Amino acid sequence: MTDPAAPPTPPVPLAALLAREDLGLRQLAGPDARAAGTAVQWVHTSEMPDPYPYLLGGELLLTAGVHITDPAGADGHLDDYVARIVAARGAALGFGVAPLHDTVPRALVEACDRVGLPLVEVPPRTTFSGVARAVWRLMAEARHAELRRVTEAQQGLATAAARPDPVPAVLRQLAARLGGVAVLYGPDGAELQRAGHEPDDGVRDALRGLTAVVRRAAPAAPASAADTAGSTHLAAYALGGGRGFALGVATDRREPGDHTIAGAAVVLLSLLTGEHQGASEAARSAALVRLLLGAPVSQTGPLLGGDRWSVVHARGEGGPLAASALAAALGTGLVDPREPGEAVRLLVPADREVAPADGWTLGVSAAAPPAELPSADAQAARALRRAEATRVPLVRHRENGLAGLVAPAEADAHARVLLAPLAAGEALTPTLRTWLSLHGSWDRTAVALSVHRNTVRQRIARCESLLNLDLHDPDVRMELWFALSRPTS
């Protein structure tokens, strides 16, 4: 029988079910559930005399004994029945007392004892659906606890990676989260850093050997492996970058979520042990130094890797690691994660198409040379506000076709004169711009600016008074929109 696919939720200890007073379950046979660590992965009810073809393994099989015609078991049927459950790797057998049988047949108890299959009595007051519901509830609680543990561990690892001594800090955090030892090995197999308790010689040798296996296999084969040394669980991971570093982990127990936590540490350690700077990073550092030393943007721009760029403003959940993942998806390494609650900003080469990204709302500017990136930044900010107000994943800035008919200097001068009265209030200009972009919608403008709709009405009324214009006139709106689209506005 092939191994079943892993269930989407952690298994439930049979001991946890037995401890539920509302169920009233009682173990009659088989090894003690708590001592043996018996776990239930799912619940299945069947009255088939041979349940083997219907089991995946790990089930708590529930039956009312419809198929038991000889409770004394003289025909050997009960031995065969229990043997088939064990062959299918069932976790335990639950027998419902009443209405067919007043007690669990003694022959069934003895058969389960002989093969070591836990047998649980289900009292008349407890329905099989109630047992199943309790299992699903315990699974959901375990899954929630696992997700919380993984999230807290990932946050702790990310914080450790930002410390002045990131590699040993990450190893200490990993060892503490997994309750074991974490070791970083160099390309020659030498132990470079270790955190956690001191492993014995046998575990140390086994872990070093396992990491040697994954180093040799990567990148042609999966760069992780697991093994045991006595009662100690071992795991090894080849770090990315092709430099031959590996991570070894040894723990006394293995819990759900351990592999995910170790995977986060592998990503961080791969970055920390990789080459300090590639060619692109070196060029960007050079561009930054030249800017700080007063060089014009026209000279530093080409060092960034392109002549024209699109500015992207993005808002979504997650911290710096999520922003880095977004940057990788958009094909750029130029990202400013900003503070929590603020929009992430990215520079994307103009020849790369910016597509919607799951979990993010994006505003994209028009392509611009380095000298005009501040204007593009404002375009991306306006596009993001519109995307949030209209609840769409991506909005691109659109150039006004009339802009090409007016000389830029004249257009800028006209915009400054027309919008000068709005300088009386700091929030008036952005409110008017957003309101016009959303076709005068009070509600959408309020959403985009995170203010009450009455505040929007008051600001627009103030704009109309200061400008001495009728904002319901489409010609006025068009002229204002043209002025507000200028970089100086």
The CATH number given to whatever domain includes residue 31 is 3.40.1390.20
Per-residue pLDDT of 84-102, as tens digits, reads 999 999 999 999 998 889 8
Q: Are residues 282 and 269 in the same domain?
A: no
Tokens encoding 443: 């509600």
SS3 197: coil
Residues 429, 364 share a domain:
no
343, 371, 398 — which closes off a domain?
398
Pair of tokens at residue 293? 């030393």
Q: What is the pLDDT of residue 287?
A: 64
Can you list the positions of beta strands (E) in 341-451?
Answer: 344-349, 360-364, 394-396
Number of domains in the chain: 5
* Phi, psi torsion values for 199, nearest 5 degrees: -80, 155
pLDDT, position 88: 93
One domain for residues 410 and 472: yes
Kindly report, residue by residue over 58-68, the tens digit of the pLDDT.
Answer: 999 999 999 88
In a domain, 210, yes or no: yes
- The pLDDT of residue 274 is 62
The pTM is what?
0.46
405 is written with which tokens? Answer: 């008919």
pLDDT confidence tier of residue 423, bands split at 50, 70 and 90: confident
Rg (CA), the chain: 33
Q: Which of 342, 412, 324 is nearest to 384 (CA)?
A: 342
Q: Report yes or no on 58 lying in a domain.
A: yes
More confident residue, 410 or 239: 239
Based on the domain organization, do 295 and 333 belong to the same domain?
A: no
CB neighbours of 307 closer than 8 A, spacing ≥ 6? 301, 350, 369, 370
Distances (CA, A) of 168 to 64, 157, 162, 411, 431: 57, 11, 11, 58, 50
Residues 59, 84 share a domain: yes
Task: From residue 308, give the alpha-carbon distance in Å to each of 305, 349, 368, 372.
Answer: 9, 6, 5, 9
> Averaging pLDDT over each range in 167-176, 320-329, 470-479, which range is the top one?
167-176
Find the Cα–Cα–Cα–Cα dihedral 215, 217, 222, 228, rounded to 10°. Answer: -70
**Residues 344 and 381: beta-carbon distance below 8 Å:** no
Reply yes or no on whether the pLDDT at 450 is more than 50. yes
Q: Does residue 153 lie in a domain region? A: no
Same domain, 431 and 368: no
- Domain presence at residue 298: yes
Mean pLDDT along residues 445-453: 88
| pLDDT top residue among 82 and 359 | 82
Q: What percent of the chain has pLDDT over 70?
A: 83
* 214 domain residue, yes or no: yes
Residues 236-261 have a mean pLDDT of 84
Using one digit for the tens of pLDDT, what is the confidence trace for 340-351? 678 888 888 888
Q: Which residues contact 133 (CB under 8 A, 6 or more apart)?
A: none
| pLDDT: which is higher, 151 or 410 | 151
Quick one: 118 and 17 in the same domain?
Answer: yes
Q: Which of 104, 139, 174 is the last residue of a domain?
A: 139
Length of the chain: 489
pLDDT in tens, 433-447: 888 888 888 988 888
Question: Can you give the pLDDT at residue 277?
Answer: 42
- DSSP H or E stretch at residue 321: helix 320-330
Give a yes or no: residue 2 inside a domain.
no
pLDDT for res 278: 47
Is residue 7 a part of any domain in this protein? Answer: no
Give DSSP secondary structure letters for 269-284. Answer: HHHHHS-S--HHHHHH
CATH, residue 473: 1.10.10.2840
Give yes or no for residue 267 having a pLDDT over 90. Answer: no
> Is residue 416 helix, strand or coil?
helix
Specify whether 18 is located in the same domain as 127. yes
Give the DSSP H or E segment for 192: strand 191-196
Produce one character per residue of 298-315: b if its CB has 16 or more CB atoms within 10 Å, e if not. Answer: eebbebbbbebbbbbbbb
pLDDT score of 299 more than 90: no
Q: Same domain for 357 and 392?
A: yes
Predicted confidence (pLDDT) at residue 335 exceeds the cutoff of 60: yes
The per-residue pLDDT for 279 is 47
H helix runs in 162-278, sequence order = 166-178, 201-217, 258-273
- What pLDDT does 48 receive? 93
Average pLDDT over residues 391-416: 69
Q: CA-to-CA distance for 370 and 297, rounded, in angstroms? A: 6
Same domain, 300 and 256: no
Per-residue pLDDT averaged across 110-123, rounded?
A: 95
Task: Give the domain-ending residue among 398, 426, 447.
Answer: 398
Q: What's the mean per-residue pLDDT of the chain?
A: 83
**Residues 132 and 16 placed together within one structural domain of the fold:** yes
Confidence of residue 405 (pLDDT cuts 50, 70, 90): very low
Q: How does 120-141 read in b/e, with b if 16+ C-beta sit within 10 Å?
A: bbbeeebebeebbebbeebbee
376: left (phi over 0), alpha (psi -120 to 50) or beta: alpha
Q: Within this chain, do residues 33 and 21 fall inside the same structural domain, yes or no? A: yes
> 241 falls in which pLDDT band (50, 70, 90)?
low
**What pLDDT, on a 0 to 100 scale, did the predictor assign at position 8?**
58
Report d(CA 56, CA 85) in Å as an integer.
10
Q: For residue 379, what pLDDT is reported?
A: 87
pLDDT in tens, 183-199: 998 877 888 888 988 88
Question: Does 325 have pLDDT greater than 90?
Answer: no
Stretch among 108-122, 127-141, 149-163 having the lowest mean pLDDT: 149-163
Task: Residue 429: give the domain boundaries.
Answer: 402-484
148 within a domain of the structure (yes/no): no
Q: Is residue 71 predicted with pLDDT exceeding 90?
A: no
